[in-house]
Amino acid sequence: MNREDKRNTLLLPAGPGGIAEAATILRAGGLVAFPTETVYGLGALASDPRAVAAIYRAKGRPSFNPLIAHVADVGQARREGRFDSRAEKLAAAFWPGPLTLVLPVAQGGSVCDLARAGLDSVGLRIPANGLARGLIAAAGGPVAAPSANLSGHVSPALPSHVLADLNGRIDAVLNGGACPVGVESTIVSLLGEAPVLLRPGGVSRAGIEHVLGESLAGAEEGIDAPVAPGQLASHYAPRAGVRLDALEVLEGEAGLDFGGRFAGAPGTILDLSPRGDLTEAAANLFSMLRLLDASGLQRIAVAPIPQEGLGEAINDRLRRAAAPRS
C-alpha cells in the first residue's frame, strides 16, 4: 500500500463488516480514523513504526510527540505498561473512559519506540466506544492514535471533520457518528512519587484525586506543584553528544546516516534509510539512536536530512538531541 498517494479515503460503516475491514487495513500497516468518546483518533498499529511514521506524515506534524496507545481491555494494558496500585485504582474507576495513564513501559511491551517518542514510558487508555474497542481487538494489538486532524487544526468530532482535513491522506474512516465528549482525554503520569496531571480533559481532577486519595501535581494554572526532576521530561535524549549535518564520521564518532552518504566508512554506522526515504527514516530514528548510544562512543555524527515532509519532525528531534544539556 503506498500511503503517500492515497486517492480516496474509504468511509466504513459502523458494525462488524466495517470493523473487520478497518482492522485488515491496520494490520497491513495502513491508517484508519476511528471514533472514541472524546474525538476521532487517527490510528495505526502501535507496534509498527512505519505505520506510526505515516501518522505524523498524514497530520503534517513538525515534531514527534508520544502518542496514546489505545487498548481494548485491562489485560492488554498490563502487557504494555507497569501497573502499580494507583494505576489499578484509576483503571478500575475510569476505564473504559477519557483517562490516559502514563506508565513505565512493561518488559516485552509492543508499543514501538516512535509511538513513545523514544521514552521509557507509555501512554495508555481504553476508549469508552464499542466500535473503537472492537477495532482494537480485531487489529490484534494496541492502536496508537492522536486526534485525526491536520497539525494545528481543531480535533474532529465527526467523520466529516476528519475528511475535511485528511481525505486522500489516510486509508479509511470508521463512521461512528458524533463523538459525545468532544474534549481530549485527561492525562495522568504515574512515573514518579507524586501523580501528575499532564493535561486536563474528560475526567475531572477532583474525580481522580478522590479515587487516589491524594492530590495531583501540575497542569491547569501554573505548574507550581513540586515535581520530581525528569518526571515531565517530554523527550528522549541520547547520552552521547550529537553532531548534525555531518559530511563524514570522525575518529571517536558513531555515524547516523541517511541516503548512504557514509557508505564504506569504517566504524559503527547505521543508515536511517539507505534509499533516502523519510518515512523509513522516521520509523528507524529512535531505535537507531539508542543502538548508537549503546556503542559507548562519545558522539553521534548525523548526516544531513532534508527539511521536507517528515524530515522536519526528524530534524526537530535531532536538534533537541544535539542541544546542550545541564
Partner that binds at residue 261, options Mg ion, ligand AMP, none, CB closer than 5 to 8 Å by kind = none
Q: How would DSSP label each residue in 264-278? A: T-SSSEEES-TT--H
Of the pair 100, 155, the CB lying nearest Mg ion is at 155
Q: Which of residues 125-164 bind Mg ion (CB under 5 A)?
A: 147, 155
Of the pair 50, 70, the CB lying nearest ligand AMP is at 70
Annotate 232-253 with b (16+ C-beta within 10 A) or e (fewer). eeeebbbebebbbebeebeeeb
**Interface mask toward ligand AMP for 195-234; x: CB under 6 A:** ---xx-----------------------------------
| Least distance in angstroms from the C-beta of 39 to ligand AMP | 8
Of the pair 110, 147, the CB lying nearest Mg ion is at 147
Name the β-bridge partners of 192: none
| Under 8 Å between Cβ of 115 and 66 | yes
Partner that binds at residue 142, options ligand AMP, Mg ion, none, CB closer than 5 to 8 Å by kind = none
Question: Total number of residues binding ligand AMP (CB under 6 A)?
Answer: 17
- Rounded distance between C-alpha atoms, residue 38 and residue 179, angstroms: 6
Instruction: Provide the terminal-to-terminal Cα distance of the chain, rounded to the nearest Å.
Output: 44
- Rounded distance between C-alpha atoms, residue 183 and residue 79, angstroms: 27
Residue partners of 33: CB distance under 8 A and separation at least 6: 40, 41, 42, 43, 148, 156, 159, 162, 166, 170, 172, 173, 174
Residue partners of 140: CB distance under 8 A and separation at least 6: 23, 27
| Least distance in angstroms from the C-beta of 146 to Mg ion | 6
| Under 8 Å between Cβ of 94 and 203 | yes
Of the pair 221, 251, the CB lying nearest ligand AMP is at 221
| Least distance in angstroms from the C-beta of 64 to ligand AMP | 10
What cell does 314 get?
526528524
| Least distance in angstroms from the C-beta of 235 to ligand AMP | 10
Under the binding rule (CB under 6 A), the answer on residue 121 touching ligand AMP is yes
Q: Which of 61, 116, 161, 169 binds ligand AMP (CB under 6 A)?
A: 116
| Least distance in angstroms from the C-beta of 158 to ligand AMP | 17
How would you classify residue 296: left for phi > 0, otherwise alpha for psi between -120 and 50, otherwise beta? left
Nearest residue (beta carbon) to ligand AMP = 123
Partner that binds at residue 155, options ligand AMP, Mg ion, none, CB closer than 5 to 8 Å by kind = Mg ion
Q: Which of residues 61-100 bind ligand AMP (CB under 6 A)?
A: 65-68, 100
Binding residues for Mg ion, rule: CB under 5 A, are 147, 155
